[in-house]
Amino acid sequence: MATPDNLILFEEDEARLAATLKRLTADAKGRATFLLDKNGRVITAAGETAGLDLTALASLVAGSAAATGSLANLVGEAEFNGLVLEGQRANLTITTLDHGLILVVLFDEKSTLGLVRFRVRRAAEEIGQAFVEIARRASRGPDQAATASQGGLSEITDDDIENLLKS
């Protein structure tokens, strides 16, 4: 399923996804987990993220996933669902999900690839369900009441934009 043109995430969405990632991190015995969009933007993360440059990590993972997807097409596959990067002390699994999402698990010798893959499958289902609801809400158009109650971005004026760019 395609991602909506603009991804709008409310606090309850973030809390729900963060809870899923927290559980995944624990169940997979991972060091950290990250949910990104295919454009390399971090949606939420869990685990030992202090000291990690999440923004840089996300852009590189997204680039890598995009290149892997194109490689799949070149050899006649619709996509390669997963990518595993193995190092001496740290490993990454990069899994592309529906809705233009990428799920990343960082793990070390305390876990195994099999366990991570197994746990990722369940988390992917939960994340997918959450995004079905997010996409459904987006297809109904902006929820003005919700938007206003959570920040009032709809009230941005041209002056706000001019002032932001003055400095």
Partner 1 sequence: MSFINYAAREINCKVVYYGPGLCGKTTNLQQIYAKVDPGSKGKLISLATETERTLFFDFLPLDLGSIRGFKTRFHLYTVPGQVFYDASRKLILKGSDGVIFVADSQVERMESNIESLENLEENLGDQGHSLDGMPFVLQYNKRDLPNAVSVSDMQAALNERSVPWFEACAAQGVGVFETLKGAAKLVLMDLKKKITA
What is the nearest approach in angstroms of partner 1 to the Cβ of residue 51? 14
Query: Could you identify the residue written with the tokens 């987990």?
Result: 33
Task: Select from 21, 40, 124, 131 the one that contacts partner 1 (CB under 8 A).
Answer: 40
Tokens at residue 56, please? Answer: 């840089």
User: Should residue 102 be labelled a site residue for partner 1 when binding is judged by CB under 8 A?
Assistant: no
Examine residue 160 and tell whether it contacts partner 1 (CB under 8 A).
Answer: yes
CA distances from 105 to 4, 8, 109, 162 (A): 25, 24, 13, 40
**Does residue 1 belong to the site contacting partner 1 (CB under 8 A)?**
no
| CA geometry: angle 121, 126, 127, nearest 5 deg | 95
Distance set, CA 128 to CA 41, 131, 160 (Å) = 17, 5, 36
Binding residue (CB under 8 A) for partner 1 from 1, 26, 60, 132: 60
Nearer to partner 1, 49 or 147 (CB): 147
Instruction: Please name every residue paired with 97 in a beta bridge, in sequence order, or none if there are none.
Output: 101
Region of 21-29, 64-72, 105-113, 128-136 interacting with partner 1 (CB under 8 A): 64-72
Give yes or no for residue 137 binding partner 1 (CB under 8 A). no
**CB closer to partner 1 out of 139 and 154:** 154
Site size with partner 1, rule: CB under 8 A: 45
User: Do 20 and 84 contact (CB within 8 A), yes or no?
Assistant: no
**Residue 162 is inside which H or E element, if any?**
helix 158-166
How far is Cα of residue 97 from the mean position of the Cα atoms in its chain? 9
What residue ranges bind partner 1 (CB under 8 A)?
Answer: 3-11, 13-15, 37-41, 43, 53, 55-56, 59-60, 63, 66-67, 70, 100, 141-142, 147, 150-156, 158, 160-162, 164-165, 167
